[in-house]
Amino acid sequence: MVQINLPQNSKVEKGKFFKDKTGSKNIRKVNIYRWDPSTGENPRIDTYEVDMDNCPSKVLDLLNKIKNEIDPSIAYRRSCAHGVCGSCAMNMDGKNGLACTKPHSEIKGDINIYPLPHLKVLKDLIGDLSTLYKQYESVEPWLKTTSKTEKENIQSKEDRAKLDGLYECIMCACCSTSCPSYWWNGDKYLGPAVLLQAYRWIIDSRDEDRKERLKKVADELKLYRCHTIMNCTNACPKGLNPAKAIASIKKMLATS
Amino acid sequence: MKENNPLSPHIQIYNWHVSSLVSISHRITGIVNYFLLIFICIWASSLFFGEGAYEIFKLFLNSVIGKFFIISLIWSYTFQILSEVRHWFWDIGLGFELKTTKITGLLVIFGSFLLTILIYSSKGFLQL
């Protein structure tokens, strides 16, 4: 259901202010969403003054700098730092993306960092993605065949090309958590990330379960809650197009 | 424990894009147009109840509020039509590139204002 306001326990309060101690002249203010599960308090926004003269270019570098030099208590996910693992997905400057590939010079004014939108927060910038993973499992993201052949299952170059723009997805959840339909119906609507994956297996020429896959996804809530808002494509840090993938599933259903 | 975990901010913090703005407007104008059709039906039926009933509508539509009302409805209608054309193209799988959606979205917004001005200013020819 559409719930515009945040619940009472989620209302964001003003937090602490960490004043610059380096005396640098190149200072930027960074506002970060904080929530500590060990206290019973509401989430808050802590503000950090960061010396930008000694800070590498990406938002993740900025977070690392804050964690290393100012406040070690801040929690966020990160791993590869090269836009491949999808761990450091978060909301920066009102838009989802990977902190490791987003340059902070692209952000004007104060830098606002929030967890991915409309998720249960586990701590600070870490959101709970278990629903999304369950939905991912529900599309059975593996090759399914019934016929038994002794030979290698060969795919033509043309058929392989159909997977381009789909297989690159790193499941960072930037798209799904940017989607208002997913915010309001996240328990039933599969969301752009999972639907893109569903399409990736539907379109694979080696898969022999296409009909069943299509039948399974053809659901008022699972699929047709997509209203082409396009936030997903706008958010994708890998430049993929989940909205187009969803439209392709709808088109396949309408023409089959 | 999960019960007490807060929900991260969503619509409060998320940036608006051209495409999301057109999308929500498409839905709102859809609802407005539903009532617009009812209004047109009542307006037409007022003819059956004679000149007096029709005069009431005329009086309302020529007042400042009435004019604002009519201009808003023309905009709502033209916006819906243009946005719907955009959706037809999407339905056949065209125009999903990020740049294209931005351009077509802007076309819908400016086109609807332009059409509103054209339609309202041509009412003299139609003798309304």
Nearest CA in chain B to A239: B98
Same domain, A210 and A139: yes
What is the per-residue pLDDT across A119-154, written as a single tens digit (0 to 9) for each?
Answer: 999 999 999 999 999 999 999 999 999 888 888 888
Domains of chain B, earliest start first: 26-123 (1.20.1300)
What is the model's pTM? Answer: 0.92
A231, A241, A251 member nearest B20 (Cβ): A231
Say if the Cβ atoms of A116 and B15 lie within 8 Å.
no
Interface of B with A (CB under 8 A): 1-2, 4-15, 17, 19-20, 23-24, 27, 87, 90-93, 96-98, 101
Say if the Cβ atoms of A241 and B93 lie within 8 Å.
no
Q: Give the CA distances from residue B87 to residues B26, B58, B102, B117, in Å, rounded to whole numbers and listed in that order.
A: 10, 36, 13, 24
Report ipTM for this prediction. 0.90
Q: Is A172 exposed, middle or buried (0-12, 13-18, 19+ CB in 10 A)?
A: buried
Q: Please tell me the predicted confidence (pLDDT) of residue B125.
A: 63
User: What is the average per-residue pLDDT within A227-238?
Assistant: 96
A99 touches A88 (CB < 8 A): yes
What is the per-residue pLDDT across A1-41, written as a single tens digit (0 to 9) for each?
Answer: 788 899 999 999 999 999 999 999 999 999 999 999 999 89
A87 touches A77 (CB < 8 A): yes
Say if the Cβ atoms of B7 and A183 lie within 8 Å.
no
Say if the Cβ atoms of B92 and A251 lie within 8 Å.
yes
- Residues of chain A numbered 98-137 and touching chain B (CB < 8 Å): 112, 114-122, 127-128
B16 pLDDT higher than 70? yes
Mind telling me how many Å the CA of B57 is from chain A's nearest CA? 37
Nearest CA in chain B to A112: B13
B5, B11, B87 member nearest A121 (Cβ): B5
Same domain, A18 and A118: yes
Q: Please tell me the predicted confidence (pLDDT) of residue B126.
A: 59
B124 pLDDT higher than 80? no
Question: What's the CA gap between A187 and A118, in Å, rounded?
Answer: 12
Question: What's the CA gap between B29 and B32, in Å, rounded?
Answer: 5
Angle at A15 between CA A10 and CA A19, to 5 degrees: 155
- Please state, for a pLDDT cut of 70, what percent of chain A lies above it: 100
Query: What CATH number should be reported for the domain holding residue A176?
Result: 1.10.1060.10
Q: Please tell me the predicted confidence (pLDDT) of residue B61.
A: 84
Mind telling me how many Å the CA of B10 is from chain A's nearest CA? 4
Q: Please tell me the predicted confidence (pLDDT) of residue A152.
A: 87
Same domain, A214 and A108: no
Question: What's the CA gap between A76 and A93, in Å, rounded?
Answer: 17
Number of domains in chain A: 2
A48 touches A77 (CB < 8 A): no
What is the per-residue pLDDT across A188-208, written as a single tens digit (0 to 9) for each?
Answer: 999 999 999 999 999 999 999
Same domain, A69 and A119: yes
Mind telling me how many Å the CA of B21 is from chain A's nearest CA? 8
Say if the Cβ atoms of A117 and B9 lie within 8 Å.
yes
A170 pLDDT higher than 80? yes
What is the per-residue pLDDT across B67-91, written as a single tens digit (0 to 9) for each?
Answer: 999 999 999 999 999 999 999 999 9
User: What is the average per-residue pLDDT within B2-23?
Assistant: 92
If one compares B17 and B58, the residue with the highest pLDDT of the two is B17
CB atoms within 10 A of CB A13: 10
Is A2 domain-assigned?
A: no
Q: Please tell me the predicted confidence (pLDDT) of residue B2.
A: 59
A117 pLDDT higher than 90? yes
Average pLDDT over chain B, rounded to an integer: 91
A246 pLDDT higher than 70? yes
Q: Which helix (H) or strand (E) holds A183?
A: helix A180-185
The band of B65, judged by pLDDT with boundaries at 50, 70 and 90, is very high
Question: What's the CA gap between B57 and B66, in Å, rounded?
Answer: 9
Same domain, A109 and A217: no
Is A149 domain-assigned?
A: no
Same domain, A97 and A214: no
Question: What's the CA gap between A83 and A65, in Å, rounded?
Answer: 19
Query: What CATH number should be reported for the domain holding residue A99?
Result: 3.10.20.30
Q: Please tell me the predicted confidence (pLDDT) of residue B127.
A: 57
Structural domain that includes position A79: 8-127
Interface test with A, best of B1, B4, B7 (most A CBs within 10 A): B7
Interface test with B, best of A120, A175, A238, A249 (most B CBs within 10 A): A120
Q: Which helix (H) or strand (E) holds A63?
A: helix A59-65
